[in-house]
Structure 1
Amino acid sequence: MFKENLEFLIKVLGNDGFTQEESIKLVYFFRAWRVLSNNEVTDKRFRFEHSRKELNIRDLDYVFRELSEEFYLFEAFDKSVKIDKLSEKSFLLIIEFVFQERTFLKLYDVFVDMLGKYGRDYYISNQVAELGVKLLNTNYSELYAPFSNSFNVAYYTEKKIFAESHADELIIEIIKILDDVDIEFNRTDILDKPSFIEGDRLKGFDCTVSFPPIGAKSISSSFKDDIYNRFRIYQGKGSLDVAHFEHILAQTRRKAVVLMATGVTFRGGVEEKFREYLMGNNWLEAIVQLPSNLLIGTGVQTTFFVINKKKNHNNVYFMNLEDKQFIEKKGRQLVLNKIDKIIEMYKEKKEVENIASVVPSFQIIENNYSLSINRYIFSKEDIRISKILDNYSSQSVQEIATVRKSQLIEDELEGTPTYEISPSDFNTFGFTLECGRVKKIKQQHSKYLTYRLFPNDILVSTKGTIGKVALIGDIKAPMIASQAIQVIRLNVPHIIEPKYLYMFLKSNIGQSLLKKLSTGTTMPQITTKEIKELKVPIPSRKEQEKAMQNFEEEVLLYKEVECLKEKINNINTNFLGDLDHE
């Protein structure tokens, strides 16, 4: 009944002009006042019980002002919620609710459950918070928790938490009182004005768990002038993910568990430089990728980075928790389960097919510091394919061809009609000829000359739809590729034949390799760099001829299939119409 009664109270408070968030904070504030009254408020006039018998709503301002001299809860309340909107009726209902209700849900859980997508400020589920704390896997006397608005971390440690962020101080004060947790909190812009300082230096903490905001953008130009010398990589442009991480490193002496958007594991630019920085210092202990849609209020996939500044080996442990055994669906929300099993695997660094593997640092360096989980965790099929490829010498695509990502060419509505091919236009078999959307090009003619297609060009879809392949035939009309496509043009003379490369890329082996290169969930993609570095087996001329025969045979087989489909269609179309009624 608690939830139903609370929902009713929220509706009543809504009539007074309180938002859902304010209503929940108001009710839980009175609950915290009652707990304080039982334990610490010495003056009977200011105890919660007195409000039920003697106080009216006009007395509250005075009472709270007096209590704020001793308890910060009341000062934080004054900053967060304006009580002058509260009606006498609502006040009495809250008092009775707090008196009568024996079991209150945790404030954090109520925010997540009742505010739905409002939970953007409280989006870390209890399971993710628990996993983050347990991944520290070490003893510590205090815990640093910067940037986090989700203080359910406090549910999973008995140690004192030092926290700083933009979070609502009232929520933290309520959690401290109702959940009996030890949090020292400072409300500040950490990147601009960190608050935990010793002398002229940042205070160091043995261990850190942090859930920084995802994809926040920089609005400051003060990074280069940082007096604490935190920002070795980040220079003040774009996403703040790396800046958040560098601050965490600056205040962590030993271990840190940091939740980042999965894109930080593979994106180029400053994030690639940051990964190189981590590997160069040998601080990265593990990458633990969480399932998609696990966080509340965002579909962004996330990954734990486990940092160990005292690491004494040269391996990185990779875990992929997208396996169905770790996921449970409760209503519309995904929940992470079997956390104890995950931690057991982590402690023992178990290698499990398709779930976890230990990777030497040099292998990560050879992969240009990519931490994409697909690069390092393998299924039985992946291992089988690897053994097949070991039987051949190989060369990278860039050694045997030029690779170019197509660029946008606008439709000018006048000029030369030009076909723009998209992955949906690719033929399933054989050559792909003139097809796609028709654009007219005039002023951009020089750009067209750079990106036009030629016979025997091999097209690979590398954005959105991953891995579709086409071989351009003897086209007669101007043709370009859409931005979702990488164009491979073999060097002359050919080391391998275009038909062979086409058949390789669309084979199960080729598709498996392309899938491994794919990163991202919302919009999967493969970079030009990855396509260039893709290794292609170089078989003998005889084996290439066999692949080209397969190309022709596939065309014939598909034509036979089309004929059979047409016959089946005719049977269904002419049903009853061809029956003899004589």
Structure 2
Amino acid sequence: MWWSKAIIRSPFIRLTAIHVKKPRRAIAVYSTEQKALTKIADLLRDAGIPANRLVDEIALLAAWAKTSSEEHGDVSWHEQQPDLRYAFSQMAQSLGVLGSVFENSCLPERLSGAEITSALVDLTQLSALSRKALSENLLALAEKYGHPGQMITANTGAFLATLCGPNHHSITLNHEASLAVLVSLDTPDQATVIIRVYSPLAIAVSFLLGAECRVEGSVGFENAFASTEFVISVPPLQATGFSRTSKLKSDELAVLRVARECTSRGVVCVAPGVLFSRASMSIREELINNNWLDAVVGLPKGTLTNTAVPPVLLVIDKHREKDSPIAFVEASERQLAEEIGDLAQAIRDRRDSENGTFASNLDIQKNDYDLTISRYKPGLAAQKLRRLKNTVSLDGVAEIVRAQSLKDADDNPDAAIFLEASVRDINETGCLETPVKEMHIDKKQLRRAQNQRIYPGDILLAIKGSVGRVAFVDDTCGDNWIAGQAFIIIRPTSANISTPYLYRYLASELIQQYVQEVATGGVMALLKAADVSGIPLPLPEPEILKSVEETHQQILAEYEVIKKHRDTVRRLELKNWPLNAEKGASRV
């Protein structure tokens, strides 16, 4: 049929070239400096240093080695530096309260004289690097070894910095992962890095680059304690327990913190759920109603080093003009690797491009403050649906029933028994088989259960988890079958369409692609009932309707043939080697 043609993804679109400073190339894993760092890591590992402490301890050694080289002309033992314990003690004194990371280092006790002497060779080589190059190599090592605080790569850090803007006279970087931004700045000594706990890596890199570093447990709170021109925050995504006064997740709190703290621009990295979840509604309202949100940038899967969740960047601008549109952009993996400078500049300049679009504050308010990019940037399937002629919205020809969650009252002997349908009850033909799950429904929930009863001729569409799965309810449906909360029930009400026609349309490649485009959710995909009820449905001519119905029956008949073939194959498989479990023997 005309709607079953495969949707072909468009190739990545190259933005118009803009002459901006290109981000620094990522450090090669096997560079001379990385080999030296790896040798030190191997030495520390052999000395019994735990794997989760390797990068932190190496960062302390590197910071000391650079300081020793600059102050004493070499990295060795002499009157000013008689041993590692004394050297680390001197570093601790120079850093003040942050110096506790040197005092708490286990290296002076764990490393033997021979091991320290061996490390000095590589540390001398590293001390010849500039402070910036040494910091870049430390972060490359942290990425290589999966340091928990290293969420983003150097490329992504440069992208965030460019989104925020040039000439960062006053910039605050919240959370340890923002170190990748710090090393990309031209003037890192003008930055302030705020972290929650004493991280040796963060403190060492901040020290090397001349940035102020502060440890503040309140960095995870939503309220700002000072104003800064530019703020960039890369918090742990969806972590709990950051604030004693709020139930919001870590990245939700970070959005409020950045929005209230910056006086010019800010960028915060969040999980996709922040764009649409009910818990984040008040945050989105604050951004939109105050006209602070400037751009929503979706990054591809794999951008973060510690999770497959595709992160989203919210760009905040305190100097937006009234009625200025908000940019919605989907960045590709290739763009982040090769064109991040151009992409960030295009977003700042508000240029039109095929991988982005614009929406007004009013548009977002009409969408219940949902910031999901696909809501404003239609995908290929959505664009094709818009071009269909003689259509009506799905809710114009069918009743849409959203199934609710029901509590099983199995301890109530008077409870009514229902069979609750789930995705696993859909067979390969698309028909709904007898549901496996038995539910005991008490009188309090009986009306709700009756509202989501399933009848022959209904269609079920999964809107949670396996979004898009469609089930055809045939005459085998029992009078106590109900839909589970993962479904919406679609019940045709128009004489101009039939259940087979509607089922085949919803199961078509076009609609399945559309469902994937508009679905939201990070860990679990979700589809809003409103997205389903508004699906354009072509009203068929009688001959088209008849053709689709005949095709539907032909498909079911083919599945019956397949079933018979499978039964035959099964019988043939058992013909010569039947297994008799009861007798515990087999015969040939």
Query: Is residue 244 of structure 1 aligned with residue 254 of structure 2?
Result: yes
Q: Following the alignment from structure 1 to structure 2, what is the Cα–Cα distance between the partners of residues 260 and 498? A: 42
Alignment-derived partner of residue 157 in structure 1: 185
Q: Cα offset for 1:79?
A: 4.2
Is the counterpart of residue 133 in structure 1 residue 161 in structure 2?
yes
Quick one: distance in 2 between partners of 1:484 and 1:90?
Answer: 60
1:375-420 Cα shifts (integer Å, max 9, x gaps): 222355533321225x4454747x9624222435659599987544
Q: Is the 8 A contact 2:60 2:204 kept in 1?
A: yes
Q: Report the counterpart of residue 272 of structure 1 in structure 2.
A: 281
Inter-CA distance 136–54: structure 2 relative to 1 (3 Å threshold):
closer
The answer on 1:51 being equivalent to 2:77 is yes
Contact 1:423 1:461 in 2 (8 A): yes
> Within 5 A, what are the aligned runs for 1:191-270?
191=219, 202-218=225-241, 220-222=243-245, 236-267=246-277, 269-270=278-279
C-alpha offsets along residues 498-523 of structure 1, whole Å, 9 cap, x if unaligned? 55544443345543443333112432
Q: Any idea what SS the aligned residue of 2:156 has?
A: helix
Indicate the larger mover: 209-218 or 285-294.
209-218
Q: What is the distance in 2 between the residues matched to 1:400 and 1:562?
A: 28
Equivalent residues of 1:56, 1:88 under 8 A apart: no
Q: Counterparts of 2:113 and 2:222 in 1: how far apart (Å)?
A: 42
* Equivalent position amino acid for 1:453 in 2: I
Q: Paired residue for 1:478, among 477, 480, 493?
A: 480
Q: Does 1:524 find its partner at 2:547?
A: no
1:287 aligns with 2:291: no
Contact residue 406 and residue 486 of structure 1 kept, 8 A: no
Contact 1:463 1:525 in 2 (8 A): yes
State the secondary structure of the residue aligned to 1:465: coil
The residue type paired with residue 112 of structure 1 is E
- Secondary structure of the structure 2 residue equivalent to 1:466: coil
Aligned residues of 1:176 and 1:183 also touching (Cα < 8 A): yes
Matched residue, 1:511: 512
Q: Counterparts of 1:258 and 1:194 in 2: how far apart (Å)?
A: 13
Structure 2 match to 1:174: 204
Please point out which of 325, 331, 348 is paired with 1:315: 325
Alignment of 1:19 with 2:50, yes or no, is yes
Deviating beyond 6 angstroms after TM superposition, the runs of 4 or more aligned structure 1 residues are: 192-196, 413-417, 493-496, 566-574
| Contact 1:407 1:451 (8 Å CA) reproduced | no
- SS, match of residue 524 in structure 1: coil
Q: Which amino acid aligns with 2:373?
A: I
Distance 1:294 1:534 in 2: 33
Tell me if the contact between 2:175 and 2:233 (Cα under 8 Å) persists in the aligned partners. Answer: yes
Unmatched runs of 5 consecutive residues or more in structure 1: 197-201, 223-235, 328-335, 575-582
Helix, strand or coil: the match of 1:298?
coil
Please list the CA deviations of residues 165-219 of structure 1 after superposition, one character each: whole Å capped at 9, or x if unmatched: 22535323422454xx2311110112578998xxxxx432111111122112136
Q: Residue 435 of structure 1 aligns with which residue? A: 434
Counterpart CA distance in 1 for 2:349 and 2:91 is 51
Moved more, 139-148 or 60-69: 60-69
Worse-superposed segment, 444-453 or 169-178: 444-453
In structure 1, what residue type is equivalent to 2:550? Answer: E
Letter in 1 for 2:61: F
Instruction: Give the distance between the partners of 1:469 and 1:149, measured in 2 at CA.
Output: 42
Q: CA deviation at 1:557?
A: 2.4
How far is 1:63 from its partner?
A: 4.6
Secondary structure in 1 aligned to 2:472? strand
**Matched-pair contact (CA < 8 Å) for 2:223–2:257:** no
Counterpart CA distance in 2 for 1:396 and 1:276 is 29
CA contact (8 A) 1:167 1:187 kept: yes
For residues 455 and 266 of structure 2, the distance between their equivalents in structure 1, rounded to whole angstroms, comes to 52
Which stretch shifts more, 273-282 or 373-382?
Answer: 373-382
- Are residues 1:346 and 2:371 paired? no
Could you say what secondary structure the match of 1:106 adopts? Answer: helix
Equivalence for 1:95: 120
Q: Secondary structure in 1 aligned to 2:463?
A: strand
Q: Equivalent residue for 2:552?
A: 555
Distance apart, 1:120 and its partner CA: 2.4
Q: Compared with structure 1, are the counterparts of its residues 549 and 535 closer, same or farther at alpha carbon in structure 2 (3 Å cutoff)?
A: same
Counterpart of 1:296, as a letter, is T
Measure the CA separation in 2 of the matches of 1:35 and 1:8: 18
Q: Which amino acid aligns with 2:155?
A: Q
The reply to whether residue 306 of structure 1 matches residue 320 of structure 2 is no
Task: Give the superposition deviation at 1:551.
Answer: 4.5
Instruction: State the alpha-carbon separation in 2 of the partners of residues 571 and 136 from structure 1.
Output: 66
Q: Residue type of the partner of 1:387?
A: R
* Contact 2:37–2:141 (Cα < 8 Å) also in 1: no
1:429–1:554 contact (8 Å) kept in structure 2: no
Counterpart of 2:465 in structure 1 is 464
Contact map agreement 2:168 2:230 (CA 8 A) in 1:
yes
Deviation per residue, 1:227-267 (Å, 9 max, x gap): xxxxxxxxx12423322211211211111111111111122
Contact 2:461 2:470 in 1 (8 A): yes
- 1:372/1:486 Cα in 2 relative to 1: closer, same or farther (>3 Å)? same
Letter in 2 for 1:378: P
Distance 1:155 1:38, change over 3 A: same
- Superposition deviation, residue 460 in structure 1: 0.4
Q: Residue 525 of structure 2: SS of its match in structure 1?
A: coil
- TM-score, structure 2 as length reference: 0.77
Task: Report the CA distance between 1:546 and its aligned residue.
Answer: 5.3
Q: Which amino acid aligns with 2:367?
A: N
Secondary structure class of the residue paired with 1:122: coil
Structure 2 Cα separation of the partners of residues 434 and 62 of structure 1: 75
- 2:403 is matched with 405
Q: What amino acid maps onto 1:206 in structure 2? A: E
| Letter in structure 1 aligned against 2:161 | V
Distance 1:93 1:280, change over 3 A: same
Q: In the aligned structure 2, how far is the partner of 1:36 from the partner of 1:55?
A: 12
Identity of aligned pairs, percent?
20
The equivalent residue for 2:17 is: none
Q: Partner of 2:137 in structure 1?
A: 106
- Cα displacement (A) at 1:560: 5.3
User: Partners of 1:90 and 1:73 in 2: how far apart?
Assistant: 29
For 1:360, the equivalent position in structure 2 comes to: 360
Does structure 1 conserve the Cα–Cα contact (< 8 Å) formed by 2:425 and 2:433? no
Deviation at 1:143, TM superposition (A): 1.0
Structure 1 letter corresponding to 2:438: K
Check conservation: 2:237, 2:270, Cα contact below 8 A.
Answer: yes
CA distance in 2, matches of 1:195, 1:381: 42
RMSD of aligned C-alpha atoms?
A: 3.8
TM-superposed deviation, 1:296: 0.8
With over 3 angstroms needed to count, the CA separation of the structure-2 counterparts of 1:387 and 1:158, relative to structure 1, is same
Per-residue deviation, residues 23-69 of structure 1 (Å, max 9, x unmatched): 44434433322322343x3xx6xx76451689654xx4445445544
| Number of equivalent positions | 527
In structure 2, distance between residues paired with 1:376 and 1:193: 31
What residue in structure 2 maps to residue 229 of structure 1?
none
- SS at 1:218 equivalent: coil
Deviation at 1:110, TM superposition (A): 0.8
Q: Give the distance between the partners of 2:267 and 2:170, measured in 1 at CA.
A: 14
- Are the aligned partners of 2:425 and 2:436 in contact in 1 as well (CA < 8 Å)? no
1:374/1:547 Cα in 2 relative to 1: closer, same or farther (>3 Å)?
farther
Instruction: For 2:64, give the aligned amino acid.
Output: W
Q: Which residue of 1 aligns with 2:64?
A: 33
Given that residues 275 and 370 in structure 2 are in contact (C-alpha distance below 8 angstroms), is that contact kept between their aligned partners in structure 1? yes
**8 Å contact 2:417–2:480 — kept in the other structure?**
yes
C-alpha distance in 2 between matches for 1:569 and 1:383? 41
